Chain A
Amino acid sequence: MAKLVLAAGVPHPPRLVRDIEESPGKTKGEAMMKQVRRYVEKAEPDVIIEVDSDHFVNFFYNNLPSFCIGMAEEAEGPQETWCPMPRYVVRGHVPLAKALFKYGVHDKFDLAAAHELRLDHSLVVPLHFLNPSMELPVIPIYTNGFVSPLPQATRCFSLGRMLRRFIEAWDGKERIALIASGSFAMDVGGPLRGWTDTEWVETISGLLIRGQYQALARRATEERIAAAGNNSGELLNWVTVTGAVGNAKPLFVEVDDGYGYAVWNFD
Chain B
Amino acid sequence: MSIYQINKILYLTDNDADFRKRIKENPDQVLKTFRLSEEEREALTSGAVGKLYQMGVHTFLLNHLSRYELFGVNRDNYLSRIREGMEYDERFEEGRMPVQYFVKEK
Give residues in A with beta carbon < 8 Å to B.
15, 18, 55-57, 60-62, 79-84, 118, 146-147, 187-196, 230
Q: Is B36 an interface residue (CB 8 A)?
A: no
Q: Interface readout for B53-82 with A: 1 if CB under 8 Å, 0 if not?
A: 100001111110001000000000001001
Q: Is B83 an interface residue (CB 8 A)?
A: yes
Q: Closest residue of chain B to A187, judged by CB?
A: B59
Q: How far is the CA of A193 from the CA of B66 in the complex (A)?
A: 13
A188 and B60 contacting across the interface, CB-CB below 8 Å: yes
In the A-B complex, list the 9 residue pairs whose CB atoms are closest, starting with the nearest.
A189-B63, A194-B96, A84-B101, A189-B59, A194-B95, A190-B59, A195-B94, A195-B91, A191-B82
B60 and A230 contacting across the interface, CB-CB below 8 Å: yes
Q: Main SS of chain A's interface residues?
A: loop
In the assembled complex, the CB of B42 is this many whole angstroms from the nearest CB of chain A, namely 21
A60 and B11 contacting across the interface, CB-CB below 8 Å: yes
A82 and B67 contacting across the interface, CB-CB below 8 Å: yes
Q: How far is the CA of A185 from the CA of B41 in the complex (A)?
A: 33
B98 and A192 contacting across the interface, CB-CB below 8 Å: no
Q: Which residues of A contact B62 (CB under 8 A)?
A: 189
B103 and A192 contacting across the interface, CB-CB below 8 Å: no
Q: How far is the CA of A146 from the CA of B60 in the complex (A)?
A: 9
A61 and B8 contacting across the interface, CB-CB below 8 Å: yes
B15 and A190 contacting across the interface, CB-CB below 8 Å: no
In the assembled complex, the CB of B86 is this many whole angstroms from the nearest CB of chain A, namely 6
Q: Interface readout for B90-106 with A: 1 if CB under 8 Å, 0 if not?
A: 01101111111111010
Q: Is B34 an interface residue (CB 8 A)?
A: no
Q: Which residues of A contact B7 (CB under 8 A)?
A: 60-61
Taking A60-B7, A191-B82 as known contacts, 5 extra A-B pairs with beta carbons closer than 8 A to each other, sorted by chain A number, are A56-B61, A82-B103, A190-B53, A191-B95, A196-B94
A195 and B63 contacting across the interface, CB-CB below 8 Å: no
Q: Which residues of B contact A189 (CB under 8 A)?
A: 59-63
Q: How far is the CA of A126 from the CA of B17 in the complex (A)?
A: 25
B103 and A191 contacting across the interface, CB-CB below 8 Å: no
B96 and A82 contacting across the interface, CB-CB below 8 Å: no
Q: How far is the CA of A188 from the CA of B60 in the complex (A)?
A: 7
A147 and B58 contacting across the interface, CB-CB below 8 Å: yes
Choose one: B79, B94, B101; the contact of A82 (CB below 8 Å).
B101
Choose one: A57, A79, A193, A195; the contact of B97 (CB below 8 Å).
A193
Q: How far is the CA of A62 from the CA of B5 in the complex (A)?
A: 11
14 residue pairs bridging A and B, Cβ less than 8 Å apart: A15-B99, A56-B58, A57-B15, A81-B17, A82-B100, A84-B101, A118-B15, A188-B60, A190-B59, A191-B53, A191-B86, A193-B95, A194-B94, A195-B91
Q: How far is the CA of A193 from the CA of B79 in the complex (A)?
A: 8
Known A18-B101, A56-B61, A191-B82; contact A61-B4, beta-carbon cutoff 8 A: yes
B103 and A60 contacting across the interface, CB-CB below 8 Å: no
Q: Closest residue of chain B to A197, judged by CB?
A: B91
Q: Closest residue of chain A to B4, judged by CB?
A: A61
B63 and A188 contacting across the interface, CB-CB below 8 Å: yes
Q: How far is the CA of A188 from the CA of B97 in the complex (A)?
A: 9
Q: How far is the CA of A80 from the CA of B11 in the complex (A)?
A: 11
In the assembled complex, the CB of B30 is this many whole angstroms from the nearest CB of chain A, namely 18
